[in-house]
């Protein structure tokens, strides 16, 4: 009895202690809030109440993201109108939505979600607050999804669009929709939150709506340009001579950065150094240069490279403060500009370049080049220093270059393919694609819009009148770009769902491999081993994912060992698994499968057929086809690769096919082609002629002198006996008719009923594809063309 009494007393004391602790934390957070510059700007509530649209500009750290939403909610609660307030605040990144929601909940002495006043919603994850009298942080894509079922966003009282200066594709589209929505809803309040640099542009877009500015909460940061850096480091004999050389050479001088780091270490106060570089090659080389110096190999330095290809452990290590006497050096891409904040940074070295993706409409190809930063980038980089004490920022460009920098980067809507966006416009019933995009803050070119519509028409997603087809309707509902959507649908229809969903998730997010510095060759070897000679990057990921699932079933230790041994990110693999579940859910609701389980046996009767999976990849990614030709060069033996549009291209070094010497066939299918130093295919899979004939474009048969040729879209040509050519054309016609019927009237294929027309046609094609691969001796390579016998 005494024991239970003591236990009961202990629980009471523990609860009392936790309540006191919570009150102390709440008090401390309240005091911190009061120190934020935004806290003294409560007049903005008056501006919000008296205006339909307001632009709030402010520097990073001023507290606008966490405080403005709370001001609105608290004002309504104080006026006894809390139930009429539902504040939704968009964030450009998933991690931001979660971290900001957690911060606001802590300030309100609550937990996130669980029916409390603050929560978040992102793709595949949510912790929702109560329906009314609440604040919800979500990604921009969530709002676009809501618009499908509620075009007026009727449940929202205040829509806060945060970080709009970043100008990503989704936020620009949402701006157009919101501007039109103001004509339909008198009671909706819009708050646009932006960096100071281009706040006026947003005000003008919304009919010169009022603006309010919140100052930053950072220490002063002293800036230096290239001429100052050369002078202080004594990098060359004369500053003028060095400036002339560096100005002529567009490349980043990593030796100069090394000299500057040494200068800071030997002459500067304590504090972390953050170096901004455009890409993996620069980060890897600078890391090697540092490690080659005895000074930086000592335990007085922690050097952390930060890139999306690095292990995620780096991204957690980067936030930890080293012990006294140890200096942290972070070498990062622009991921450290806005996505993460490293509080103890005192010195920033701005390499002056940023990798920017553009879209060349003339050649229908994406490009990625290291470009000069914008003033906005430079300002963000400078702002990474001075969080805890005065800082210094070193820009690796001269005064003349600084005066020529653009104000900000080109908006994403003007430098990216528009197919996925066009489908969103149609599914949201926003009218003509061209007329809708004319209303954008910065409109894309007519050529870019026309090309997107043309590509969607060729994909059979839009008809000639720009209406959604049955296929287009399903592609628009899938949260991926159209080619990946088509891949998902064909995986469902042809009974190989699970592996195809793995490929689709990876292509739409990222592959799960990482590359630790110094172990690049070992990582390549493990990736190659996981390919199992499939000559396919896509099947390599399937194999890696299946291995992870098996290891995970055996327990956490086996999962960790598997990921470590194969250079795989467990976090990315988990994300891919979640995405697969979401895709399967979409397919079940649309009627293509009978279960939302990607591994449902009924949806995977053909998942063990590697040849068929390759054919499904063709069905989804066509016409992204490349031809393999033998290389007769003694210096570079192996193969050469060509595409119809570009001529000679290269397989990216990261691909398992990069150094492949022999292929069984002469065709590759790929998803991503990009021009950097050369035109690279970033991923590819070797595919057979029958895969292209059945799942590629239109088939034509032409009679030669002694035999016939069968061609896909006039350029992928095979020599074939007349009997086989006509058999293939006939079967292709049946398949197209069957697939069209399935897309118009979704229903799972009944694989049990082998006598049904569905099964008969599909099984005949599967047998042909599989048989052809098994009997390679029947196929002779002749000048890059296959002959069938």
What DSSP letter does each residue of 594-646 carry, written as one string? S-S-TT-GGG-TTTT-HHHHHHHHHHHHTT-EEEEEEE--SSS-EEEEEETTT
- Could you give the CA distance from residue 273 to residue 330 in angstroms, rounded to a whole number? 6
- Beta bridge mates, 355: 370
Tell me the average pLDDT across 118-137. 92
CA–centroid distance for 11 within its chain: 47
- Segment 566-608, tens digit of pLDDT: 999 998 999 999 999 999 999 999 999 999 999 999 999 999 9
> Which pLDDT does position 789 carry in this prediction?
35
Work out the angle at residue 286's Cα, subtended by the Cα atoms of residues 283 and 289, and round it to the nearest 5 degrees. Answer: 150
Tell me the average pLDDT across 451-469. 93
Lowest mean pLDDT among 422-426, 437-441, 549-553, 695-699: 695-699
Please determine, for residue 27, whether its predicted confidence score (pLDDT) is greater than 80: no
Tell me the average pLDDT across 324-328. 92
Please determine, for residue 140, whether its predicted confidence score (pLDDT) is greater than 50: yes
Q: For residue 10, what are its two tokens? A: 């202990």
Task: Kindly indicate the confidence band of residue 19, based on its pLDDT and cuts at 50, 70 and 90.
Answer: very low
Contact between 93 and 340 under an 8 Å Cβ cutoff? The reply is no
Q: Chain-wide mean pLDDT for the chain?
A: 87
Of 403 and 28, the structure prediction assigns the larger pLDDT to 403
Please determine, for residue 727, whether its predicted confidence score (pLDDT) is greater than 80: yes
- Segment 396-451, tens digit of pLDDT: 999 999 999 998 888 999 999 999 999 999 999 999 999 999 999 999 999 999 99
Please determine, for residue 783, whether its predicted confidence score (pLDDT) is greater than 80: no
Please determine, for residue 697, whether its predicted confidence score (pLDDT) is greater than 90: no
Contact between 64 and 38 under an 8 Å Cβ cutoff? The reply is yes
Lowest mean pLDDT among 192-201, 277-286, 447-456, 457-466: 192-201
Prior bond to 516 cis, omega within 30?
A: no
> What is the torsional sign of CA 644, 650, 652, 655?
positive
Going edge to edge, which strands form the sheet with 679-681? 353-360, 365-372, 673-675, 679-681, 647-651, 638-643, 625-631, 667-670, 684-687
Burial of 434 (0-12, 13-18, 19+ CB in 10 A): middle
- Name the superfamily (CATH) of residues 33-214: P-loop containing nucleotide triphosphate hydrolases (3.40.50.300)
Query: What three-state secondary structure class fits 208?
Result: coil
CA distances from 766 to 300, 401, 746 (A): 62, 60, 21
Of the candidates 57, 83, 82, the one whose C-alpha atom is nearest the C-alpha of residue 161 is: 57
> Which pLDDT does position 722 carry in this prediction?
79
> Which pLDDT does position 306 carry in this prediction?
81
Rg (CA), the chain: 29
> Which pLDDT does position 34 carry in this prediction?
56
Please determine, for residue 759, whether its predicted confidence score (pLDDT) is greater than 90: no
Please determine, for residue 26, whether its predicted confidence score (pLDDT) is greater than 50: no
- Could you give the CA distance from residue 20 to residue 378 in angstroms, rounded to a whole number? 45
Assign residue 27 a region (left: φ > 0; alpha: ψ between -120 and 50; beta: otherwise).
alpha
B/e letters for 27-49, b = 16+ CB within 10 Å, e = fewer, are eeeeeeeeebbbbebeebbebbe
State the DSSP string of 284-333: HHHHHHHHTSGGGGSTTEEEEEE-TTS-HHHHHHTTSPPPTT-EEEEEE-
Please determine, for residue 773, whether its predicted confidence score (pLDDT) is greater than 60: no
Please determine, for residue 246, whether its predicted confidence score (pLDDT) is greater than 70: no
> Which pLDDT does position 284 carry in this prediction?
86
φ, ψ at 159 (rounded to 5°): -110, 115
- Could you give the CA distance from residue 113 to residue 126 in angstroms, rounded to a whole number? 8
Please determine, for residue 143, whether its predicted confidence score (pLDDT) is greater than 90: yes
Contact between 548 and 555 under an 8 Å Cβ cutoff? The reply is no
Domain 221-408 fold is Rossmann fold (3.40.50)
> Which pLDDT does position 771 carry in this prediction?
77
Burial of 703 (0-12, 13-18, 19+ CB in 10 A): exposed
E strands, 174-231, where? 189-194, 211-214, 221-224
- Could you give the CA distance from residue 467 to residue 463 in angstroms, rounded to a whole number? 5
Lowest mean pLDDT among 18-22, 50-54, 715-719: 18-22
- Segment 524-538, tens digit of pLDDT: 999 999 999 999 999
Tell me the average pLDDT across 759-778. 70
Q: End-to-end distance of the chain based on CA atoms, in angstroms? A: 91
Of the candidates 197, 221, 229, 255, the one whose C-alpha atom is nearest the C-alpha of residue 397 is: 229
Considering the chain, what percentage of its residues have pLDDT values greater than 90?
58
Query: What three-state secondary structure class fits 760?
Result: helix
Please determine, for residue 547, whether its predicted confidence score (pLDDT) is greater than 70: yes
Of 355 and 335, the structure prediction assigns the larger pLDDT to 355
């Amino acid at each position: 009895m005494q024991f239970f009494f003591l236990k009961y007393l202990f629980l009471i004391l523990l609860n009392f202690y936790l309540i006191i602790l919570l009150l102390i934390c709440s008090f401390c957070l309240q005091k911190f809030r009061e120190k934020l510059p935004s806290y003294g700007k409560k007049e903005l509530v008056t501006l919000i109440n008296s205006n339909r649209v307001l632009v709030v500009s402010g520097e990073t750290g001023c507290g606008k993201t966490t405080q403005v939403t709370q001001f609105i909610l608290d004002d309504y609660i104080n006026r006894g109108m809390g139930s009429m307030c539902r504040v939704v605040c968009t964030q450009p990144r998933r991690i931001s939505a979660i971290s900001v929601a957690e911060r606001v909940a802590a300030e309100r002495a609550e937990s996130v979600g669980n029916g409390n006043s603050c929560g978040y919603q992102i793709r595949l994850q949510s912790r929702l607050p109560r329906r009314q009298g609440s604040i919800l942080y979500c990604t921009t894509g969530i709002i676009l999804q809501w618009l499908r079922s509620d075009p007026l966003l009727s449940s929202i009282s205040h829509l806060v669009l945060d970080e709009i200066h970043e100008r990503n594709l989704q936020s620009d589209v949402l701006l157009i929709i919101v501007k039109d929505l103001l004509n339909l809803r008198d009671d909706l309040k819009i708050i646009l939150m932006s960096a100071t640099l281009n706040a006026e542009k947003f005000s003008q877009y919304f009919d010169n709506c009022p603006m309010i500015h919140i100052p930053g909460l950072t220490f002063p940061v002293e800036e230096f340009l290239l001429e100052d850096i050369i002078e202080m480091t004594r990098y060359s004999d004369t500053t003028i001579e060095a400036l002339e050389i560096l100005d002529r050479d567009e490349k980043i001088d990593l030796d100069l950065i090394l000299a500057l780091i040494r200068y800071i270490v030997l002459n500067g106060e304590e504090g972390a150094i953050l170096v901004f570089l455009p890409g993996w090659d620069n980060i890897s080389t600078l890391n090697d240069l540092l490690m080659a110096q005895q000074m930086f190999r000592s335990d007085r330095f922690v050097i952390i490279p930060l890139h999306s290809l690095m292990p995620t452990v780096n991204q957690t290590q980067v936030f930890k403060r080293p012990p006294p006497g140890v200096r942290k050096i972070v070498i990062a891409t622009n991921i450290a500009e806005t996505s993460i904040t490293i509080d103890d940074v005192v010195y920033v070295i701005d390499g002056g370049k940023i990798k920017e993706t553009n879209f060349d409409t003339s050649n229908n190809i994406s490009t990625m080049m290291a470009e000069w930063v914008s003033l906005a980038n430079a300002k963000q980089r400078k702002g990474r220093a001075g969080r805890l004490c005065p800082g210094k920022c070193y820009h690796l460009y001269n005064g003349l270059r600084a005066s020529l920098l653009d104000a900000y980067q080109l908006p994403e809507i003007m430098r990216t393919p528009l197919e996925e966006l066009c489908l969103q416009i149609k599914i949201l019933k926003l009218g003509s694609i061209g007329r809708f995009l004319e209303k954008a803050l910065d409109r894309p070119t007519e050529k870019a819009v026309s090309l997107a519509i043309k590509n969607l028409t060729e994909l059979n997603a839009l008809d000639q009148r720009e209406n959604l087809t049955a296929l287009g309707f399903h592609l628009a509902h899938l949260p991926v770009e159209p080619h990946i959507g088509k891949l998902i649908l064909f995986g469902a229809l042809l009974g190989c769902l699970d592996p195809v969903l793995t490929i689709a998730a990876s292509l739409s997010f990222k592959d799960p491999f990482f590359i630790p510095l110094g172990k690049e060759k070992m990582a390549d070897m493990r990736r190659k081993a996981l390919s199992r000679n499939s000559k396919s990057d896509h099947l390599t990921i399937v194999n890696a994912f299946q291995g992870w699932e098996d290891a995970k079933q055996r327990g956490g230790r086996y999962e960790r060992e598997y990921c470590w041994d194969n250079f795989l990110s467990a976090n990315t693999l988990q994300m891919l698994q979640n995405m697969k579940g979401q895709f399967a859910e979409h397919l079940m609701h649309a009627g293509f499968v009978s279960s939302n389980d990607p591994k449902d046996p009924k949806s995977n009767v053909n998942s063990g057929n590697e040849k068929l999976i390759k054919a499904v990849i063709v069905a989804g990614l066509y016409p992204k086809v490349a031809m393999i030709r033998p290389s007769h060069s003694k210096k570079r033996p192996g193969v050469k690769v060509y595409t119809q549009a570009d001529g000679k291209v290269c397989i990216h070094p990261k691909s398992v096919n990069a150094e492949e010497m022999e292929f069984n066939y002469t065709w590759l299918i790929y998803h991503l082609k990009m021009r950097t130093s050369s035109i690279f295919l970033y991923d590819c899979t070797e595919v057979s002629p029958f895969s292209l004939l059945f799942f590629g474009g239109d088939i034509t048969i032409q009679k030669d002198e002694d035999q016939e040729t069968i061609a896909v879209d006039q350029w992928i040509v095979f020599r074939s006996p007349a009997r086989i050519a006509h058999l293939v054309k006939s079967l292709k016609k049946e398949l197209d008719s069957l697939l069209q019927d399935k897309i118009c009237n979704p229903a799972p294929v009944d694989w049990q009923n082998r006598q049904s027309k569905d099964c008969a046609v599909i099984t005949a094609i599967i047998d042909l594809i599989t048989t052809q691969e098994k009997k390679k001796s029947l196929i002779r390579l002749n000048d890059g063309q296959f002959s069938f016998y």
